[in-house]
């Protein structure tokens, strides 16, 4: 009996210790953005389930990334998942992770090499950006038609962030769907944002609206909810409210939900919900399996999205388990 108990206890201890030894970094470029907070939350769920530790670090620029990697190494982490602040840091991040003997996986934004090509040796989980962009564009076209708007009078605020490939793919996918739906190319106004946050999008969209007084109505799209919310707020400020603005974002985290929960309709019509559960929980588990079982994650995993509006938000979120 005693032997049995001792045996069971030592078994427990061994497995417990193993998981307890595992430390995984989760580094994100914009810690204040709800999407990244959700990713962290899901990584924590994975950690709790398996018994490992997640070290969450916000790294808004290259210098912070390098410090974060050293920090992880000195805490004896075995690997980390990162959404980098700049994909061009690719070769530097890969080299430093090697020196510090840290396993490396990227999420959301895929690292590129000196030529701008994706670094395929680093396992990556991203969204199927072009497709999701197309869903955004299609949602806008459908809503324009539903409202019976004359497309010639409608301007499209296309909030771009060209230096980030996933952003480029999302906005080009949306553009493609708009054009296929009959939206006039000349009415699409390029609105580059300086950073991927609401304020930068607001500033860019505000200028686009002022410069194009001929449009009676607007639609807006961009790489995420923050970009579209910036455009929606700018339009509101210039008198374009829910009845003359159709904004469709990408994300579906708190920024979108807050908007849906407002008593009054706003120009933020919908968003394509993507899964922070897959991007946070699954990447953390992938890294854990890599560290503990030497199971390398798939080189490339692309996740899907689904259109979410005020009407279907509960059902769509339930479907995604978030
Ligand atoms: C990029 C964007 C984020 C989020 C993520 C999936 O990192 O900046 O807002 O959309 O992809």
Residues 132-164: tens digit of each pLDDT: 999 999 999 999 999 999 999 999 999 999 999
Predicted local distance difference test score (pLDDT) of residue 15: 41
Average pLDDT, integer, range 101-121 = 98
Q: What does the block give as tokens for 239?
A: 């008198």
Q: Among 125, 223, 228, 229, name the best residue to mutate to test ligand 1's pocket (greatest count of ligand atoms within 8 A of Cβ).
A: 223
**CB-based contacts of 20: which residues, under 8 Å, 6+ apart?**
51, 52, 53
The secondary structure of residue 178, as a DSSP letter, is: H
Q: Which residue CA neighbors atom 6 of ligand 1 most closely?
A: 108
Give Rg (Cα) of the chain.
22
Report the SS3 class of residue 61: coil
Helices (H), the chain: 2-21, 34-50, 62-74, 90-99, 129-147, 165-180, 198-211, 225-237, 254-261, 276, 283-293, 313-319
Burial environment of residue 193 by CB neighbours within 10 A (0 to 12, 13 to 18, 19 or more): buried
- DSSP letter at 298 equals P
- Helix, strand and coil content of the chain, in percent to the nearest 5, comes to 50, 20, 30
Helix, strand or coil for residue 245? Answer: strand
Taking alpha carbons only, the member of 128, 121, 166 closest to residue 29 is 166
Instruction: Quote the CA–CA distance of 107 and 28 in Å, as a whole number.
Output: 9
User: pLDDT over 90 for what percent of the chain?
Assistant: 94
pLDDT (mean) for 50-71: 98
Instruction: Dump pLDDT digits (tens) for 13-35.
Output: 334 448 999 999 999 999 999 99
Mean pLDDT of the chain: 95
Confidence of residue 6 (pLDDT cuts 50, 70, 90): very low
Residue 13's pLDDT is 39
138 CB near ligand 1 (under 6 Å): no
Measured CA angle at 195 (ends 190, 198), to 5 deg:
85
Average pLDDT on 44-51 reads 98
Q: What pLDDT is attached to residue 95?
A: 98
Q: Is the CB of 251 under 6 A from ligand 1?
A: yes
Q: Which residues contact 1 (CB under 8 A, 6 or more apart)?
A: none
Return the pLDDT at 18. Answer: 85
* Sequence-ordered list of residues with C-beta below 8 angstroms from that of 311, at least 6 positions apart, any chain: none
4 C-alpha to ligand 1 centroid (Å): 51
Percent of the chain with pLDDT over 70: 95
**Ligand 1 touching residue 108 (CB < 6 A):** yes
- Nearest-CA residue for atom 11 of ligand 1: 108
Q: Is the pLDDT of residue 74 over 80?
A: yes
Residue 193 tokens, joined: 């944002």
pLDDT in tens, 240-298: 999 999 999 999 999 999 999 999 999 999 999 999 999 999 999 999 999 999 999 99
């Amino acid at each position: 009996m005693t032997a049995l108990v001792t045996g069971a206890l030592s078994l427990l201890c061994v497995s417990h210790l193993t998981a307890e030894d595992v430390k995984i970094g989760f580094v994100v470029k914009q810690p204040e953005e709800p999407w990244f907070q959700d990713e962290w939350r899901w990584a924590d769920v994975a950690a709790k389930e398996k018994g490992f530790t997640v070290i969450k670090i916000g790294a808004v620029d290259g210098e912070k990334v390098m410090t974060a990697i050293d920090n992880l190494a000195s805490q004896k982490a075995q690997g980390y998942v990162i959404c980098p602040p700049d994909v061009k840091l690719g070769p530097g991040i890969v080299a430093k992770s090697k020196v510090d003997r840290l396993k490396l996986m990227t999420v959301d934004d895929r690292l590129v090499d000196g030529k701008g090509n994706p670094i395929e040796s680093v396992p990556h989980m991203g969204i199927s950006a072009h497709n999701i962009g197309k869903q955004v564009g299609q949602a806008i076209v459908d809503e324009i038609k539903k409202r019976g708007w004359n497309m010639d009078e409608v301007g499209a605020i296309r909030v771009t962030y060209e230096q980030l490939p996933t952003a480029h793919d999302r906005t080009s996918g949306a553009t493609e769907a708009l054009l296929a739906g009959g939206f006039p190319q000349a009415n699409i106004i390029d609105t580059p944002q300086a950073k991927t946050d609401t304020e930068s999008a607001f500033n860019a969209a505000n200028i686009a609206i002022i410069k194009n007084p001929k449009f009676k109505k607007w639609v807006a799209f961009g790489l995420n909810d923050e970009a579209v919310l910036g455009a929606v707020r700018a339009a509101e400020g210039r008198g374009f409210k829910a009845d003359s603005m159709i904004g469709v974002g990408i994300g579906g985290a708190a920024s979108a939900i807050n908007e849906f929960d407002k008593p009054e309709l706003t120009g933020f019509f919908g968003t394509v919900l993507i899964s922070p559960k897959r991007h946070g929980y699954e990447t953390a588990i992938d890294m854990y399996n890599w560290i503990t079982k030497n199971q390398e994650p798939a080189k490339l995993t692309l996740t899907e999205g689904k259109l979410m509006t005020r009407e279907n938000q509960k059902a769509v979120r339930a479907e995604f388990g978030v």
